[in-house]
Chain A
Amino acid sequence: MATIELKNINHFYGKNHVLKNLDLVIEAGSFVTLLGPSGCGKSTLLRVLSGLETISDGQIILGGQDITHKDPKDRDIGMIFQQYSLFPNMTVLENIRYGLKLKKMKPEIIDEKARNAIQMVELTGKEHHYPAQLSGGQQQRVAIARSIVTKPKVLLLDEPLSAIDAKLRRSLQARIREIHNEMKITSVFVTHDQNEAMIMSDVIHLFNNGKIEQSGKPFDIYTAPSTYFAAEFMGNYNIIPGQVFSTISGEDYPDGQKIAIRPETVEISSEPHAFRNEAYQFTGIIKEHTLRGNILSYTIKANGLTLKADVLFRSFKLFDDHTTVNLLIEKRNCLKI
């Protein structure tokens, strides 16, 4: 495991400035996620780290060594791709052995390490299968085994689970995290799925337009987004212009000020709430409701603004559409951004 330092990284695709003066430190042994929408530069940063892209400007330090101009093969970095990229002409075992052979290890050691890696990703019995004979989840597990078997200093994961169905995805998320905890390889995970990022990461770097918008632990980023983009991307926040929100709060806000409120912090009741000094209380009308598994989402009109409110779906006692309800939002949950 090794610390990664990125210093003033700039990268262009033609005239398109993809990475902009990026500075980033990734602690040794941590599991870091680069989260952001498509085209924000997160995958490019991963390719820059791996050496598959040559940066226009900047410096990459890995474990104290400058690797900026090193070939991918000399960086000691493993990478798992979205499309698995397994070698179709090789069996599972041959795929996993490939990297070890290039390290010129003894055949018996190669065999032992490969079989351990196969056990680790629970593919025992599939050693002699070709990639086309495996399911998507199994192929991705082979890709994981192939990347970790050489014990690289850093493991890069470029949206490895995006082509896998939801159930399998959850089990692979857990498996990847377990493997990381076992091996302690510094891992950089790229995803556009905020739930996945929050489940898996020690630290999230929220990317937008070639820059890091916000960095922090999943809890901090989710509960305290510092910008409009972070609030919009992370939590499905209600983002209300200050002047509109002043009709509820009675307070004045400077021009451009926005208030971000997480939907699950909006309390709904058919009876008036007991008065609380540290909360805003008002009434609204339910416009519509949507059941999302264990969450019931309401869209509510109140004082000229539209609010989303999420409640845990614990009983069948629903608020019908067009019902007037009492709403309560604690002041501390109204974030100024």
Chain B
Amino acid sequence: MTEKPNSKPIILLICFYLILPILMTFIYSICMEWRDILPHGLTFRYYIEIFTDMEFLIAIVRTIIISVVPVVICTVTVLLAMYVILLYLPGLDKYMQILTMIPYSIQGVILSIGVLSLYANAPMPLSNRFVMLTGTYCIIILPYIYRGIKNCMTTINAKNLIESAQILGASKAYAFFSIIIPNILSGIKVSLMLSMAIIFGDFVVVNIIGGNYYQTVQIYLYRALFRSGQLSSAIIVVLFLITMALSAGVYAYKKPHHDQEEI
């Protein structure tokens, strides 16, 4: 009988490797100075500084808003499109696939400069920076949202499930919302997380389109880099914790059937 290899040390090593950069960043953010091998002094003054700075707190709120709004708009739009494609116009699926591939080929700089030159002088609300940012992010995250939902629908064989619900007396719409949505929720959550993480960490698009008009935490961080290394490290640690809290929030809702063991 072969012995089961002990995988714990390898997992711990990988965890340590992954956590090391953020750990070092945290240590750097709480030290007075670090000029030798070991850091000297302990202080939370950088954390106090950023949390007492109203501009930082507003930037965080702005970042969360701009990370959530496009994701929600894009998810709802893609879900409705998938509903129509699945039940009424399956022939359009190939066009949807082509459409969702296009954002991959457009770099963030090109996209944001294009959006800016096209809409900067457009009438309100199109020229509003928040609207422009939301629209641009919707395009950027479209492939991730679409793929996540599409893969889930393929896995659960959505068409068959809808047909069987119809036979049992459900309308197409009721079948979609009572059967398909609950079953693709895990895929939607992964897409949401991925998309929010992309927007949360974006600097290029928000700097070009938002700039001074819509200052997110990434722009705040960029400016802090010129002031102090410890200050920017403290911001990075805070951002990491916020991202982790958001991820935990998304995954907190877990249905019992996800724990089931397949036989």
Contacts and interface: CB of A to CB of B under 8 A. Distances in A.
B260 A130 contact: yes
A87 B163 contact: no
A132 B166 contact: no
B263 interface: yes
Nearest to B156: A88
A314 interface: no
Contacts of B160: 81, 83, 85
Contacts of A81: 160, 163-164
Name the residue among A50, A52, A79, A89 with the largest chain B CB count within 10 angstroms: A89
Contact of A102 (B156, B163, B169): B169
Interface string B241-263: 00000000000000101001111
Contacts of A52: 163, 166-167
A16 interface: no
A112 B130 CA distance: 56
Interface stretch (A2-10, A70-78, A263-271): A70-78
A150 interface: yes
Contacts of A103: 169
A249 to B, nearest CB: 53
Contact of B167 (A50, A89, A132, A133): A50
B168 A146 contact: yes
Interface string B154-166: 0011001101111
B211 interface: no
A50 B165 CA distance: 12
Interface in B89-135: none
A77 B169 CA distance: 9
Interface residues of B, number: 22
Kindly state the interface size class of chain A when it binds its partner: 20 to 34
Interface in B205-252: none
A88 B166 contact: no
Given A87-B161, A89-B182, A133 B263 contact: yes
Contacts of B167: 50, 52, 72-73, 77-79, 147
Interface string A56-84: 00000000000000011100011101010
B169 A85 contact: no
Interface string A170-213: 00000000000000000000000000000000000000000000
Contacts of B179: 87, 89
B20 interface: no
Interface string A125-153: 00000101111000000000011001000
B171 interface: yes
B170 interface: yes
A335 to B, nearest CB: 41
Name the residue among B166, B170, B182 with the largest chain A CB count within 10 angstroms: B166
Given A85-B160, A85-B163, A89-B182, A132 B262 contact: yes
Name the residue among B163, B165, B166, B169 with the largest chain A CB count within 10 angstroms: B169
A102 B174 CA distance: 10
B183 interface: yes
A18 B156 CA distance: 28
B166 A133 contact: no
Contacts of A102: 168-170
Nearest to A79: B167
Interface in B174-202: 179, 182-183
A99 B262 CA distance: 25
Given A81-B160, A89-B182, A98 B168 contact: yes
Name the residue among B156, B255, B260 with the largest chain A CB count within 10 angstroms: B260
A130 B166 CA distance: 21
B260 to A, nearest CB: 5
Contacts of B260: 130, 132-133
Nearest to A146: B168
Contacts of B168: 73, 78, 98-99, 102, 146, 150
A85 B163 CA distance: 9
A77 B260 CA distance: 32
Contacts of A88: 156, 183, 257
Contacts of A79: 164, 167
B161 A73 contact: no
Contacts of B165: 87, 98
A134 B164 contact: no
A85 B161 contact: yes
A133 B261 contact: yes
Nearest to A75: B167
Q: Lowest 7 CB-CB distances: which A-B pairs, in order? A: A99-B168, A102-B169, A85-B164, A72-B166, A89-B182, A79-B167, A130-B260
Interface of A: 50-52, 71-73, 77-79, 81, 83, 85, 87-89, 91, 98-99, 102-103, 130, 132-135, 146-147, 150
Given A73-B167, A85-B160, A89-B183, 19 more contacts: A51-B166, A52-B167, A72-B163, A72-B166, A72-B167, A73-B168, A73-B170, A79-B164, A81-B160, A85-B164, A87-B165, A88-B156, A88-B183, A98-B168, A98-B170, A102-B169, A102-B170, A103-B169, A133-B262
Interface of B: 156-157, 160-161, 163-171, 179, 182-183, 255, 257, 260-263
20 contacts: A50-B167, A52-B167, A71-B166, A71-B171, A72-B163, A72-B166, A72-B167, A83-B157, A85-B163, A85-B164, A87-B161, A87-B164, A89-B179, A91-B257, A98-B165, A102-B170, A130-B260, A132-B260, A133-B261, A135-B263
